[in-house]
Amino acid sequence: MHSDVLTIGDRTFQSRLLLGTGKFASNDIMRQSIEASNTEVVTVALRRVDLDAPQDDMLNHINGDSILLLPNTAGARDADEAVRLARFARNAGCPSWVKLEVTPDPRYLLPDPLETYKAAKVLIADGFHVLPYINADPVLCKHLEELGCATVMPLGSPIGSNKGIKTRENLRIIIEQAQVPVVVDAGLGAPSHAAEAMEMGADAVLVNTAIAVARHPVAMARAFAKATEAGREAFLAGLGGSSDIANASSPLKGLMWE
Partner 1 sequence: MYSEVFPSIDQNELMSVIEEVGSRDVQVALQKDQLDIKDFAALISPAADPYIEEIANKAHQLTVQRFGRTILMYAPLYVSNYCTNGCRYCGFNHQNLMERHLLSHGQALDDAAVIASEGFRHLLLVSGEDPRYVDEQYLGELAVKLKGRFSSIGVEVQPLEESGYRHLSECGVDSLTIYQETYNTELYSEVHPSGKKRDFNYRLDTPERGALGGMRKVGLGVLLGLGNVSLDACNLALHARYIMQNYWRTQVSVSFPRLRAAEGGFQPYDPVSDRTLLKLICAFRLYTVDAVLVLSTRESAQFRDAVFPCGITQMSAGSKTNPGGYSSQDDTLEQFHVEDSRSVAHVAAAIREQGYEAVWKDWDPLLV
Which residues participate in the annotated binding site for 1-deoxy-D-xylulose 5-phosphate? 160, 186-187, 208-209
| Candidates 48-56, 116-124, 132-140, 196-204; binding stretch for partner 1 (CB under 8 A) | 48-56
Count of residues in contact with partner 1, rule CB under 8 A: 30
Which 220-249 residues touch partner 1, going by CB under 8 A? none
Contact flag: residue 216 with partner 1 (CB under 8 A): no
Q: Please say if 99 is a catalytic residue.
A: yes
Phi-psi map region of 72: left, alpha, beta (phi>0 left; psi -120 to 50 alpha): beta
Measured from the CB atom, is 39 or 73 closer to partner 1? 73
* Residue window 95-124: x/- pattern of binding to partner 1, with contact defined by CB under 8 A: ---------xxxxx----------------
Indicate the annotated binding residues.
160, 186-187, 208-209
Helix (H) or strand (E) holding 11: strand 11-13
| DSSP sequence for 174-198 | HHHH-SS-BEEES---SHHHHHHHH
Contact flag: residue 84 with partner 1 (CB under 8 A): yes
Which of 7, 14, 26, 247 touches partner 1 (CB under 8 A)?
Answer: 26
Contact flag: residue 188 with partner 1 (CB under 8 A): no
d(CA 21, CA 41): 11
Those residues with Cβ within 8 angstroms of residue 114's Cβ, 6 or more apart along the chain or in another chain:
none
Of 218, 152, 213, nearest to 185 by C-alpha is 152
Specify the amino acid at residue 92: A
Measured from the CB atom, is 47 or 239 closer to partner 1? 47
| DSSP sequence for 96-147 | SEEEE-----TTT----HHHHHHHHHHHHHTT-EEEEEE-S-HHHHHHHHHH
Which of 24, 128, 133, 235 touches partner 1 (CB under 8 A)?
Answer: 24
Which of 96, 162, 177, 192 touches partner 1 (CB under 8 A)?
Answer: 162
- Residues annotated as catalytic are 99
